[in-house]
Amino acid sequence: MAFNSIAFALFYLAFFPLYWSVNRRASKNARNASVLLASYLFYGWWDWRFLGLIALSSATDFWIGLAMGRQHNPGHKKMLLLLSLAFNLGILGFFKYYNFFAESLQDLLGLFGWQLDWPTLHIILPVGISFYTFQTLSYTIDIYRGRLQPTRDPLSFFAFVAFFPQLVAGPIERAANLLPQFHARKAFQESEVVGGLRLVVWGMFKKVVIADNLGPIVDALYAGPESYGAIGVFIGALLFSFQIYCDFSGYSDIAIGVARTLGFRLSKNFETPYLAGSFREFWQRWHISLSTWFRDYVYIPLGGSRVPPARWKANTLITFVVSGLWHGAAFTFILWGFLHGFALLAERRSGREVRLPSWLLFLLVSLFWLPFRAEDLGQLGALAGQLGNPLAGWETCGQLLLELLSGTKVIWFGLVFAGFLWMEGRIDRSDFDRLIAAWQKPLRRAVYYLLILCILLLGNFANAPQFIYFQF
């Protein structure tokens, strides 16, 4: 059940009044039960078979959290933490990485003339598993570190893990932020509902108008790089930068907005990252909940920067390579993570952060998206091979644009895209809700109507394109 589907619109319109009715008249347990049931319905819409997996993950870490809370022996607490790590990473590794490592091992041994008949499996990746696994892991790790007390309320914990607005693609919430919100009684506040709906409309605009109209162009450019030359590869990289940003930040805006209408506050996940002036700042603004997760649970435990320079560099590269592998079981994602880690080290060679013009950083980040978007190393090689042919592709790229954005839609989309860029510049480190709330009411309403009109007239609802990060 994707946010950009009719099914979700009907689901939300039915759940919203029911939720607030239960919240007003019933107990905390009844409210959390309604959230949990709605979240399981939302998640089971994709494949009901994986409901057992998320329930098992929730039950395991709830029990481990309670056991660690009662344990005073440091060694026993460590064993419980290792059990949580083994269970969660074992499940994630099986579903997401089994075939990747099996095939890689066979290829590696084949280089030495050894044949290994290791079977690969037809495994369906449970949607959102990378996100809720990291969410429950942070819970047990924080209890082990003494930063969090385990909850004794299983209903609240299960609802925290499965909370439908952010279940599938984040933000990855820490228990310290979100779990207490399931214990507190909610008071209906019109201003919060209005603010949440603002974010929903803005996120939907970014998804169906910007990202989903750029998607077919990007797909065509990546599928046939030999037809479009270097200009096609370059344009494809630039357009994919906007596609993935609008797709993912659009999801985050909708998730945060829907949660606000239900009285919950989720973490901010994006702060106009393409306006950053360094790779370090970019990662402080892009997918904030994931980058801070890797900082707190991978980079710092490895020693962070408070170690000799050689080890600090290794820590940085390891963290980014693991981050790349988190995104997908492919060497292209590992390469993407390595490039960002190497760039972060390169800009700090002098001992201080090198600042770049935002437009130059955007171009570099866009080129780094090439391995991320490429389906495999073969396609990446084909894309890279065209970069030495800068004079080819101008005419065919123009024809492709006219075919996919036919007639006057090219002009209207261009105007709307320019308006989007202007709005992003105004938002910068703030957010859409806070910016618009400060405007006069007539202007605010004009913006609402204009965004809704753009969604209805320019939105690409063909086949209801999935959000890109659902595959991770």
- CB distance 344 to 279 below 8 Å: yes
Cα separation, 66 vs 229, whole angstroms: 59
Cis amide leading into 150 (omega within 30): no
In the residue annotation, 327 being an active-site residue is answered as yes
SS in 3 state form for the chain?
Answer: CCCCCHHHHHHHHHHHHHHHHHHHHCCHHHHHHHHHHHHHHHHHCCCHHHHHHHHHHHHHHHHHHHHHHHCCCHHHHHHHHHHHHHHHHHHHHHHHHHHHHHHHHHHHHHHCCCCCCCCCCCCCCCCCHHHHHHHHHHHHHHHHCCCCCCCCCHHHHHHHHHCHHHHCCCCCCCHHHHHHHHHCCCCCCHHHHHHHHHHHHHHHHHHHHHHHHHHHHHHHHHHCHHHHHHHHHHHHHHHHHHHHHHHHHHHHHHHHHHHHHCCCCCCCCCCCHHHCCCHHHHHHHCCHHHHHHHHHHHHHHHCCCCCCHHHHHHHHHHHHHHHHHHHCCCHHHHHHHHHHHHHHHHCCCCCCCCCCCHHHHHHHHHHHHHHHHCCCHHHHHHHHHHCCCCCCCHHHHHHHHHHHCCCCHHHHHHHHHHHHHHHHHHHCCCCHHHHHHCCCHHHHHHHHHHHHHHHHHHCCCCCCCCCHHHHC
Of the listed 72, 287, 327, 340, which one is catalytic? 327
Q: Which residue has the tokens 């003494």?
A: 146
CA angle 175, 305, 169 (to 5 degrees): 35
Residue 187 CB-density burial (10 A; 0-12 exposed, 13-18 middle, 19+ buried): exposed
Q: Which residues does the annotation mark as catalytic?
A: 327
